[in-house]
Structure 1
Amino acid sequence: MKRYIKSLVLAALVGFTACSDDFLTVQPTASQETGGPATEGAILANLGATYQILLFDSYADYQYNSVPLLSDLRSDDIFKGGGDAGDQAVLYKLSQFEPTSVDIPIGLWNIYYSGLSRANNAIISCENAVDVPENKLNQLKAEAHFLRAYYVHWLWKFWGNIPYFEEDLEEPYMAPQYTADEIYAEILEDLEIATAAGALPMNTNSANDGRATRAAALMLKARVVMYQKDTDKYAEVMADMQTIVSEGGYSLPDYARIWSREGEFGPGSIFEANHQADGKDWGAAWTGFGTNLPRFISPNELTGFDQLQIDQQLENGVPESELDTIPYEGGWGFGPVRTDLVSVFEEGDERLAASVNKFAKGTYTERFQDTGYFMAKYAAREDYNDAPFNPDLNFENNVRIFRYAEVLLNIAELEVVHGVAAGAMTAQDALDLIRERAGLETITADVDNIKLERRREFVGEGMRFWDIVRWGDTNLLNEDIPEYSSSRTWEDYMKYLPIPQSEIDKTEGEFKLEQNDGYN
């Protein structure tokens, strides 16, 4: 499904040089020098290059960088999987809370710093706009500030105390290191611009699906504020969530439909990365539109059908002769789902079959930490990849970043867990809507039920680990499971990963990066 963002990115590629391996040296071409007069076309080229970073969420910089996967690896939802412990050993160490400054997913660092640099160029071009109508300029500026906040918030979540800059850097291309609290303040400054009333539309239409909206900016603000545990702003976030409910026009579509091609940019989608089956190549680290995540997480040499989907249809009275099964493709067997996660779903919960796949033994090749369960939402589906080359890298599954369900569960959590006055939509109302869509009866909106509902709703979307950390429920992360080669103990300093040693080595003097506490 070709959407607006692909056209915007293609326009950007005409105006930009290829991305450098050094995040501090991403530069526009001479025709769009930063600081010079910028036409609307020049601004759009800068903005398109900034949006392009969203498409690097699986393979880029010659590494596997899926944020949902790398987030969930540290949760209690999935194991690392793959061929063995040494297959993508960086990911195994991440899952065991044993990363080092050398064995680290540095691809995330490089990708999101490229996003920061590109967003800076877009913002500067807006500040130097020529003959751009004020309302259009305000929208473009708000989009650029939203994207900068989005990219920086991932660097902040993973590393905390990071270098930060908003202008082009001169040699030797070093930037001061901010504390995590200082970075939080910078993110909020960007979001103040992005969330300003009238700057961005609350929703999009088919002509510009994939572009930032005010709802997306409000959702990012909610994630950042709640992760920071900034209680002084909880009432603001509650008001923001109520605004999305009343003004956004969003709703909860059929859960299984969300993850199909037909479910892209559906009524429950607030923001998603728009992938296309085209363009990614093993030898070109910063190109293309496809995603590798489906191949990465699907069972190896698969020949069977998803048993959970079949069981659900049989329970719903569908005759065996009329069963409708999604034809899945095989993959590399990473991210097997833990059996404990499957057990938290109630009988009749329609989200289970849409979130988790189960394949019978003998219908795939069992790999490391195999449980028989795999993540379904982004699983490799037949006919979702017609790339002319390198199909492993070029699935078209869009990654859903913000969904309306999160708005509702934020409302429920803010009222019940944090004691914030709700408004028109109450915690019980919100929880009832979530459960009704899942085919379940109403239950009391208490702390345990809201946390559990959030876990069920967002399986495989990279939410669980961050929720556990901000709730302070990190005892759930301690484990010793020899049969699955997983033994780990959580310490509070592990909230942040170690700063990559290669980045520390590039700095000196007043810009010398300091390693995060707890790491050598």
Structure 2
Amino acid sequence: MNKYIKTLFFAALIGFTSCSDDFLTVEPTSSQEAGGDATDGAILSNLGAAYQILLFDSYADFQYNSVTLMSDLMSDDIYKGGGSAGDQQVLYNMSQYNLNGDLTASGLWNIYFAGLSRCNGVIIACENAIGVNEESLNQYKAEAHFLRAYYVHWLWKFWGNIPYFEEELEAPYFAPQLTADQIYAELIEDVDFAIAGDKLPLQTTASNDGRATKAAAMMLKARIVMYQKDQSKYAEVLADMEAIYNSSEFQLEDYASIWDRSGEFGSGSIFEANHLAEGKDWGAAWTGYGTNLPTFISPNELGGTDLLSGSTDYQGGWGFAPVRSETPGIFEDGDTRLAASVNQFEDGTYTARFQNTGYFMAKYAARKEYNDAPYTGDLNYENNVRIFRYAETLLNAAELIVIHGQAATTGLTAEICLDAVRARAGVASIPATAENIKLERRREFIGEGMRYWDLVRWGDTNVLTESNPDFSSERTWDETRKYFPIPQSEIDKTYGEYKLVQNSGY
């Protein structure tokens, strides 16, 4: 677990203070004052602080903020669960598309704006570099542009029309609010910068696991372009997917092995957040390396065996995010992804909680011996969050060819891509139709925060409206639900030309 990225985090802790309560402010390192000369060490300190935002995606700002979980809550794969509808009320309302300015994902807002600010700090430090060789400097810049795009793309997906800034802000720390389309243009500029040339390697070496790569930037561009439905860039994105495929740097490993400790940074991993079982505490909202997600999604007071995999390696948690009863039915007989994606436990082997179905998410489930933190174990599991996987490369290519009518230039076909994903899962070849490609994405990425965004960009949102009183889910999705309400507390801080405007429908 002692990956390169941890070295960067230690550098950050030496010279970088935690984010302040104001989402647009961040303190400079002690070794590089704002606008001053920056040594290699000062730039790395800033870069480590920028990477650390990846590790706040579970508990930070005194809130539970897993972007994976929040995305899945809005899909048709899971329920909210937990103790009651009022247990983590914002998550329940999120699952019902019923947020407002006073009840929204303000923690996520703060985390990713802190990420934007920290990435700006890296880029500014690079502009003031002294004694840093050009190759290293170009890599630092590309990493910062990639991370900035990654953090901002989540703000863009959740809120659309957001404040944006690339310079250090002076009091009162306001920034202009851009439209979602304007933010899209900024995102493309950042990912294109990270992709261009050879500033980043396509894949890392083992000693650099956890750092950004060109392949990660290509995958991020694909998500951004495909969500925007920007047909003018589909050919570019398909070319990127072909480049990853033809590089032979990535392979589809055994599916179940991806999710345990030995599968971290495996042959199919393109980018993941490197969590370590240490550091987080209830009273320290902006520290540490561990993740709370396993505790959050595992059944309460578990004492039984997983019926699907036969494993006794799982342990209990808080009972959030039960998998819907109908979700396991999307898998064909013999599909090895089912047991790796979903846990099933007999009644009586755990304490049933709100919206209980007996099914739970397996990929990031709490596992024995994955948490040796000396304190606050619930916050400090070491399960890495897999952000980009090679399977997504293949299914992106299949979708671009079949659904969006793009022509591959290297002989890659949608059938080759779909067959590879299915063969690894132990199921037979089927025609690469639009319907089959969409269903394969659902099977492959269950519990990874992908399904909801796919449904929105495909326009297949009719499945999100439901009346299900047995599971306390009465919700209606329409276009006004595409974006969350901006936190009212942030609107109230602003005035004049920088006054934030609430999103339509709230």
Structure 1 partner of 2:29: 29
Structure 2 partner of 1:313: none
- Deviations along 1:367-419, whole A, 9 cap, x unmatched? 00000000000000000000000000000000000000000000000001111
Deviation at 1:326, TM superposition (A): 4.4
User: Which residue of the other structure, out of 467, 473, 480, is the alignment partner of 1:493?
Assistant: 480
Aligned to 1:400, the other structure's residue is in SS state strand
Q: Kindly indicate whether residue 432 of structure 2 is the aligned counterpart of residue 445 of structure 1.
A: yes
Taking the aligned partners of 1:300 and 1:425, their CA distance within structure 2 comes to 46
Q: Do the aligned partners of 2:16 and 2:30 also contact (CA within 8 Å) in 1?
A: no
Q: Do the aligned partners of 2:72 and 2:449 also contact (CA within 8 Å) in 1?
A: yes
Which deviates the most, 242-251 or 267-276?
Answer: 242-251
Q: Kindly indicate whether residue 245 of structure 2 is the aligned counterpart of residue 258 of structure 1.
A: no
Structure 2 partner of 1:317: none
Taking the aligned partners of 1:441 and 1:384, their CA distance within structure 2 comes to 35
Deviation at 1:35, TM superposition (A): 1.5
Q: Do the aligned partners of 1:215 and 1:248 also contact (CA within 8 Å) in 2?
A: no
Deviation at 1:425, TM superposition (A): 1.8
- Deviations along 1:167-223, whole A, 9 cap, x unmatched? 111011100000000000001111111001211000011111000000000000000
User: Which residue of the other structure, out of 468, 474, 479, is the alignment partner of 2:466?
Assistant: 479
Task: After the TM superposition, list the runs of 4 or more consecutive aligned residues in structure 1 that deviate by more than 4 angstroms.
Answer: none
Taking only the aligned residue pairs, the percentage that are identical comes to: 69
Structure 2 partner of 1:160: 160
Structure 2 partner of 1:186: 186
Taking the aligned partners of 1:2 and 1:67, their CA distance within structure 2 comes to 25
Q: Which amino acid aligns with 1:493?
A: T
Structure 2 partner of 1:431: 418
Structure 2 partner of 1:7: 7
Extract unaligned runs of 5+ from structure 2. Answer: none
Structure 2 partner of 1:327: 313
Aligned to 1:207, the other structure's residue is in SS state helix
Deviation at 1:302, TM superposition (A): 0.2
Taking the aligned partners of 1:132 and 1:116, their CA distance within structure 2 comes to 23
Q: Do the aligned partners of 1:97 and 1:488 also contact (CA within 8 Å) in 2?
A: yes
Taking the aligned partners of 1:466 and 1:384, their CA distance within structure 2 comes to 30
Aligned to 2:443, the other structure's residue is in SS state helix
Deviation at 1:6, TM superposition (A): 1.1
Taking the aligned partners of 1:334 and 1:377, their CA distance within structure 2 comes to 14
Q: Which amino acid aligns with 1:398?
A: N
Taking the aligned partners of 1:284 and 1:430, their CA distance within structure 2 comes to 45
Taking the aligned partners of 1:248 and 1:139, their CA distance within structure 2 comes to 23
Q: Kindly indicate whether residue 504 of structure 2 is the aligned counterpart of residue 517 of structure 1.
A: yes
Taking the aligned partners of 2:248 and 2:50, their CA distance within structure 1 comes to 25
Q: Which amino acid aligns with 2:63?
A: Q
Extract unaligned runs of 5+ from structure 1. Answer: 311-324
- Deviations along 1:305-333, whole A, 9 cap, x unmatched? 100113xxxxxxxxxxxxxx241110000
Taking the aligned partners of 1:326 and 1:385, their CA distance within structure 2 comes to 16
Taking the aligned partners of 1:94 and 1:348, their CA distance within structure 2 comes to 34
Q: How do 1:20-169 residues align onto structure 2 when only pairs under 5 Å count?
A: 20-169=20-169
Aligned to 1:272, the other structure's residue is in SS state strand
Q: How do 1:69-468 residues align onto structure 2 when only pairs under 5 Å count?
A: 69-247=69-247, 249-310=249-310, 325-423=311-409, 424-468=411-455
Structure 2 partner of 1:319: none
Deviation at 1:13, TM superposition (A): 1.1
Taking the aligned partners of 2:371 and 2:36, their CA distance within structure 1 comes to 41
- Deviations along 1:137-181, whole A, 9 cap, x unmatched? 111110000000000000000000000000111011100000000
Taking the aligned partners of 2:281 and 2:475, their CA distance within structure 1 comes to 36
Deviation at 1:248, TM superposition (A): 5.2
Q: Which amino acid aligns with 2:276?
A: Q
Deviation at 1:422, TM superposition (A): 2.1
Q: TM-score, normalised by structure 1?
A: 0.96
Taking the aligned partners of 1:204 and 1:94, their CA distance within structure 2 comes to 37
Deviation at 1:30, TM superposition (A): 4.3
Deviation at 1:29, TM superposition (A): 3.3
Q: TM-score, normalised by structure 2?
A: 0.99
Q: Do the aligned partners of 2:15 and 2:30 also contact (CA within 8 Å) in 1?
A: no
Taking the aligned partners of 2:312 and 2:387, their CA distance within structure 1 comes to 23
CA RMSD in angstroms, aligned pairs only = 0.7
Q: Do the aligned partners of 1:202 and 1:248 also contact (CA within 8 Å) in 2?
A: no
Taking the aligned partners of 1:383 and 1:31, their CA distance within structure 2 comes to 39
Q: Which amino acid aligns with 2:91?
A: L
Deviation at 1:31, TM superposition (A): 2.8
Aligned to 2:270, the other structure's residue is in SS state strand
Q: Do the aligned partners of 1:327 and 1:381 also contact (CA within 8 Å) in 2?
A: yes
